[in-house]
């Protein structure tokens, strides 16, 4: 690919020789701040209207966000009015802090303070760009001039806060050296130290320093180095909350955020499903549920992910991709045969052992934990294996086929999927099962019959007798046989039809349904005269009749298979 020579590689810009983050683990959730209503909203083709913003705000509160950036009230009258509506309608819970964004410019800061009047808990988030490229190309200013912009903004914010009647208000401060990812680490520390001093931050009133990868420029390990350098070199660390705001230009927003936590960050700003400018912000749903799968309480509740997704899609008019972690339509779905087999074995193992730990291969989280227990985990196409169809039959229809039958039925399912060239629905799979086994009624069909037991004289043994009819090519044939049970008796009776050379191999049974409507299902495996194993299935309210119907099914299938060779 031509043209790569004009790009400058982003190497290490920190002299961090004692990095600690590679040896650390994430052990607790960060402070979360949703920026869906500001950063996410400004990236929409059609920004949310007032009622959509309120609906999204309420969902963010329900999920558990305690800090929510609601807009940029000095940027437009619409943004101003939306903030006023949230305050004046009393829609902000007492334990939720709203955050407002403003550039470090005097008239915008003053407008912002007008907008927050009456709010109980507010974070005033101000910023100016500090990166090498922005200073060179956009502002044409040196480091001192850029620092002056930030410090003057901090002083004005401190002044306006002191002048405001804050008896019922809790105003906190946040500063972002915008484009931190492209800023010299030493300068990022220096400008933030100057801002903290100007605004009067201390341990009791810490300032939030938000370090955004406004544009991703490096691999996540280098971003982690930048964060650790900042955390180790910022003055009075106890008076600082270190926040990150990763974007996703390189597709590594989640990795940036997770490694930043290892490097010392306390807080993460992001959006539901990663909506945001260009390639988006970091996806907080993914981050939170990643923690959940590691046994960490994320402090956010995504147990009804379908509801959260539906509100997100309604308000933003954007769609969650099928492969989006945890929330996409297909993320809990296996088409591959080996994956299906492992998932089925995992679910069987958990049922058998009553394990209180999630131990299902290929599924890092239980679909039930995010409210998706009724969606199919296994779906069938031409790539699927023998266990997948068996899983569908068990989970959806209640037929628990013996393991030896899986390859036989799987063959027919794969053949059908190949012929149709598409995924098979559960109903299509059951229809195939019904045709192959339950309606295998040719050439023989069971007619009227009876079974009765005769007890031997010593009462230690009994003989079962089958007496009835079998239809063959519309001809009704009377047969009779005896044995040590219903299956043995029916086998004896079959000799009168000229089919004496089938051998019984195995028998499985289970109930389908519960209560008075329950039926018995019998699976019969026979060895044909040609030495092939073949299965039959019978279903009836009486287990003895189900077993006999299973034998007829197996014999008919064997004859049909023999005729097709």
Per-residue pLDDT tens digits for 181-236: 889 999 999 999 999 999 999 999 999 999 999 889 899 999 999 999 999 999 99
Q: In this structure, how many other beta carbons lie within 10 angstroms of the beta carbon of residue 511?
A: 13
Q: What count of other Cβ atoms lies within 10 Å of the Cβ of residue 251? A: 10
Cis bond upstream, residue 511 (ω within 30): no
Q: In whole angstroms, what is the distance from residue 194 CA to residue 196 CA?
A: 6
pLDDT at 54: 96
First to last CA, the chain: 55
Q: Give CA–CA dist 298/303, Å, rounded.
A: 12
Q: Sign of torsion, CA 553 556 561 562? A: positive
Look at residue 441 in the predicted model and tell me its pLDDT: 82
Burial of residue 209, with CB atoms counted within 10 A of its CB: 0-12 exposed, 13-18 middle, 19 or more buried = buried
Residue 533 CA to residue 505 CA, distance in Å, equals 8
Structural contact between residues 281 and 37, judged by C-beta atoms closer than 8 angstroms: no
- The predicted pLDDT at position 250 comes to 95
Whole-model pTM? Answer: 0.78
405 CB-near residues (< 8 Å, 6+ apart): 390, 523, 525, 535
Tens of each residue's pLDDT in the chain, 565 residues: 888 787 777 777 677 888 999 999 999 999 999 999 999 999 999 999 999 999 999 999 999 999 999 999 998 888 999 999 999 999 999 999 999 999 999 999 999 999 999 999 999 999 998 877 777 766 677 888 999 999 999 999 999 999 987 678 999 999 999 999 889 999 999 999 999 999 999 999 999 999 999 889 899 999 999 999 999 999 999 999 999 999 999 999 999 999 999 999 999 999 999 999 999 999 999 999 999 999 999 999 999 999 999 999 999 999 999 999 999 998 888 777 788 788 888 888 988 999 889 999 989 999 999 998 645 676 776 666 667 788 888 888 999 999 899 999 988 888 888 888 888 888 999 999 999 999 988 899 999 989 888 776 666 678 899 999 999 888 899 999 998 888 889 988 988 888 778 888 999 999 998 877 889 999 999 998 888 999 999 999 999 999 999 999 999 999 888 776 5
Tell me the two tokens of residue 250.
């390189």
Locus of tokens 């087999």: 341
Would you state the structure tokens that stand for residue 373, as one six-digit string?
Answer: 């227990």
Alpha helices (runs of H) in 130-233, residue ranges in sequence order: 132-133, 143-163, 185-199, 220-233
- 343 contacts 361 by C-beta, under 8 angstroms: yes
Contact between 185 and 226 (Cβ < 8 Å): yes
Own/partner pairs, 146-153, CB within 8 angstroms, 24+ separation: 146/191, 147/190, 147/191, 147/194, 149/104, 150/104, 150/175, 150/177, 150/191, 150/194, 150/195, 151/194, 151/195, 151/198, 152/104, 152/106, 153/104, 153/105, 153/106, 153/109, 153/126, 153/128
- Neighbouring C-beta atoms of residue 248, cutoff 10 Å: 21
Q: What is the torsional sign of CA 8, 13, 15, 16?
A: negative
Domains annotated for the chain, with CATH where assigned, are 30-316 (3.20.20.70), 337-435 (no CATH), 444-564 (3.30.160.270)
How far apart are the C-alpha atoms of 403 and 394, rounded to whole Å? 12
312 Cβ partners below 8 Å, 6+ apart? 56, 59, 272, 273, 275, 318, 320
pLDDT at 565: 59
User: Do strands 121-129 and 170-178 pair parallel, antiparallel, or not at all (unpaired)?
Assistant: parallel
Q: Which two tokens stand for residue 307?
A: 């509801």
- Look at residue 402 in the predicted model and tell me its pLDDT: 93
**Which one, of 83, 5, 6, 3, lies nearest residue 41 by Cα?**
83
What is the residue whose two structure tokens read 């006023």?
84
Quote the pLDDT of residue 342: 86
């Amino acid at each position: 690919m031509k043209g790569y020579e004009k790009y400058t590689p982003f190497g290490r810009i920190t002299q961090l020789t004692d990095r600690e983050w590679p040896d650390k683990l994430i052990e607790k959730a960060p402070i979360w701040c949703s920026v869906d209503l500001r950063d996410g909203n400004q990236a929409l083709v059609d920004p949310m209207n007032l009622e959509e913003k309120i609906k999204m705000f309420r969902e963010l509160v329900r999920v558990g966000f305690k800090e929510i950036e609601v807009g940029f009230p000095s940027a437009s009258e619409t943004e101003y009015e939306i903030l006023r509506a949230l305050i004046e309608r009393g829609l902000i819970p007492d334990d939720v802090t709203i955050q407002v964004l403003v550039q470090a410019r005097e008239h915008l800061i003053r407008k912002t303070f007008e907008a927050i009047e009456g709010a109980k808990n507010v974070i005033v988030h101000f910023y100016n760009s500090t990166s090498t490229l922005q200073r060179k190309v956009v502002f044409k200013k040196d480091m001192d001039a850029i620092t002056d912009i930030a410090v003057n903004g901090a002083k004005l914010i401190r002044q306006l806060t002191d002048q405001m009647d804050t008896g019922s208000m809790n105003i906190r401060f946040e500063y972002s050296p915008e484009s931190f990812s492209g800023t010299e680490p030493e300068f990022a520390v220096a400008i933030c130290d100057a801002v903290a001093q100007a605004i009067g931050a201390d341990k009791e009133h810490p300032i939030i320093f938000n370090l955004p990868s406004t544009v991703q420029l490096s691999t996540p390990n280098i971003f982690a180095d930048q964060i650790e350098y900042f955390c180790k070199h910022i003055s009075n660390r106890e008076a600082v909350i270190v926040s990150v705001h990763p974007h996703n230009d390189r597709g590594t927003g989640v990795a940036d955020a997770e490694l930043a936590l290892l490097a010392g960050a306390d807080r993460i700003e992001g959006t539901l499903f990663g909506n945001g400018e260009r390639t988006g912000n970091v996806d907080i749903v993914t981050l939170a549920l990643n923690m959940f799968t590691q046994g960490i309480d994320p402090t956010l509740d995504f147990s009804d992910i379908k509801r959260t997704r539906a509100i997100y899609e309604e308000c933003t008019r954007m769609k969650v991709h099928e492969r989006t972690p945890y929330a996409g339509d297909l993320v809990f779905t296996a088409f591959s045969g080996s994956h299906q087999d492992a998932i089925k074995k995992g679910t069987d193992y958990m049922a058998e052992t009553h394990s209180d730990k999630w131990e299902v291969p290929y599924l890092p989280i239980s679909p039930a934990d995010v409210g998706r227990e009724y969606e199919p985990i296994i779906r069938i196409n031409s790539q699927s294996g023998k266990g997948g169809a068996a899983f569908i039959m068990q989970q959806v229809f209640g037929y628990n086929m013996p393991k030896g039958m899986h390859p036989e039925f799987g063959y027919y399912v794969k053949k059908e999927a190949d012929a149709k060239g598409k995924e098979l629905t559960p109903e299509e799979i059951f229809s195939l099962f019904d045709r192959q086994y339950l309606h295998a009624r040719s050439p023989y069909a069971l007619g009227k019959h009876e079974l009765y037991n005769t007890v031997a004289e010593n009462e230690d043994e009994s003989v079962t007798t089958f007496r009835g009819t079998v239809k063959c090519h519309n001809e009704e044939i009377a047969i009779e046989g005896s044995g040590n049970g219903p299956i043995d008796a029916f086998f004896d009776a079959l000799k009168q039809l000229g089919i004496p050379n089938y051998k019984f191999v195995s028998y499985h049974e289970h109930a389908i349904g519960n209560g008075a409507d329950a039926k018995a299902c019998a699976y019969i495996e026979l060895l044909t005269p040609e030495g092939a194993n073949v299965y039959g299935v019978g279903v009836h309210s009486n287990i003895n009749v189900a077993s006999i119907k299973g034998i007829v099914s197996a014999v008919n299938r064997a004859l049909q298979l023999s005729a097709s060779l």
